[in-house]
Amino acid sequence: MILAAAMVLDAVFGEPDWLWSRLPHPAVVLGRLVGRLEHSLNMGDNRRAKGVLAVAILLSLSWTVGGLIAWVPDAGLLEMLGAAILLAQRSLVTHVRAVADALRRGGATAGRLAVAMIVGRDTAQMDAPQIARAAIESGAENLSDGVIAPAFWFAIGGLPAMLAYKAVNTADSMIGYRTERYLEFGWAAARLDDALNWVPARLTAGLILLPHGAVGLWHRVPNDARLHRSPNAGWPEAAIAPVLDVALSGPRSYDGRLQEFPWVNPTGRREAGPDDIDRACTALWKTWAAALALVLVLTFLFF
């Protein structure tokens, strides 16, 4: 019941400003640690080996901290609070919905500012449909990374496994890029993040389809997911795209260079707008509810 309670707590309260304006969020602490390891180790020869060492340090520290919390007598409340902090359902929906609100309020100009908060691609030249699609894609991908995957690893190994996952995911988001600086050093973080998200990404896709009565679309998901540049992010995107009847992915610009990525659900509508973002947010909540129901069923069956 700890995981179910944590999911509800996160959904109700999210990340309250009054708390995290006074204390560093664990994700911020992890980010600082990744930054220090990168600054200290990412130089000279054998950068891939040094990246492996950095990931090993991150895993050791995060697992130890999670284990110490779980080791405290009657630690159920602490574990629940820790798990709730490491989940991101409410904050995810808030950030995605903010893009729809910005598009309605100030058109593409305001939408670009809002979507730049949640995507890593170039946003300066985006039109309104591109902004809407980017917000939907980010919502689907981060539903897997920020909600389903942490919950999955908590179910597998408790708070230590959940915190270790978050450490790897944070490292991947910071150093897991195929650039000259990070190609070798970030290799271990990127590959381990891919491995840790393999099951959760596919589970997320199923959980998206289930509450929409769209399980019959599952046969389309693997083919569309393989069109995506990521081995995992394509799965939740390939599931939410037909549910919303929109085409996702497609051409986009990174670091000033247009890249011709294929479309996911290419027959869907490309002229997405703020109403589609709202529908995506509803889908995110329905998926969260399906995940919570699954957690409760498994809890009663096995515990």
44-89 pLDDT, tens digit per residue, is 999 999 999 999 999 999 999 999 998 888 888 999 999 999 999 9
pLDDT over 80 at 132, yes or no:
yes
DSSP state of 69: H
Give φ, ψ of 72 to 5 degrees.
-60, 135
Average pLDDT over residues 147-158: 97
- Express each pLDDT in 4-43 by its tens digit: 999 999 999 999 888 888 889 999 999 999 999 999 999 9
153 in Cβ contact with 164 (< 8 Å): yes
Give the per-residue pLDDT at 230. 83
User: Whose structure tokens read 């840790």?
Assistant: 196
pLDDT confidence of residue 13: 94
- Report whether pLDDT(255) > 80: no
pLDDT for the residue 237: 95
Query: What is the per-residue pLDDT across 207-226, written as a single tens digit (0 to 9) for each?
Result: 999 999 999 999 999 999 98
Please report which confidence band the pLDDT of residue 231 belongs to, taking 50, 70 and 90 as the band edges: confident
DSSP classification of residue 249: E
CB atoms within 10 A of CB 234: 27
Strand, coil or helix: 25? coil
* Distance (Å, whole) CA 98 – CA 271: 19
Cβ atoms of 188 and 176 within 8 Å: the answer is: no
**What does the pLDDT read at residue 256?**
78
End-to-end CA distance of the chain: 9
Residue bearing the bigger pLDDT, 235 or 251: 235
* pLDDT confidence of residue 134: 95
For residues 237 and 112, what is the distance between their CA atoms, to the nearest angstrom? 21
| Residue 91 confidence (pLDDT) above 90 | yes
| The one-letter amino acid at 114 | A
User: Strands 263-264, 248-249: parallel, antiparallel or unpaired by DSSP?
Assistant: antiparallel
State residue 291's pLDDT score: 98
Number of domain units in the chain: 1
Reported confidence tier of residue 97, pLDDT bands at 50, 70, 90: very high
The one-character DSSP state at 280 is H
Q: Give the pLDDT confidence score for residue 18 in this predicted structure.
A: 87
- Whether the pLDDT of residue 167 is over 90: the answer is yes
Distances (CA, A) of 183 to 76, 163, 186, 216: 40, 25, 6, 39
Is the pLDDT at 303 greater than 80, yes or no? Answer: no
| Mean pLDDT, range 237-261, rounded to an integer | 89
pTM across the whole model: 0.94
- Rounded to whole angstroms, how far apart are CA atoms 91 and 12? 10
Tell me: pLDDT of 121 over 90: no
CA angle, residues 258, 262, 263, in degrees to nearest 5: 110
Strand partners, 263: 249
Cα–Cα distances (Å) from 298 to 21, 88, 155, 292, in that order, read 36, 22, 10, 10
- Decide: helix, strand or coil at residue 254: strand
Domain boundaries, position 255: 2-302
CB atoms within 10 A of CB 114: 22
| Mean residue pLDDT across the chain | 94
Positive or negative: CA dihedral 260, 127, 96, 22: positive
Split at pLDDT 50, 70, 90, the class of 131 is very high
In the predicted structure, residue 229 carries a pLDDT above the cut 90: no
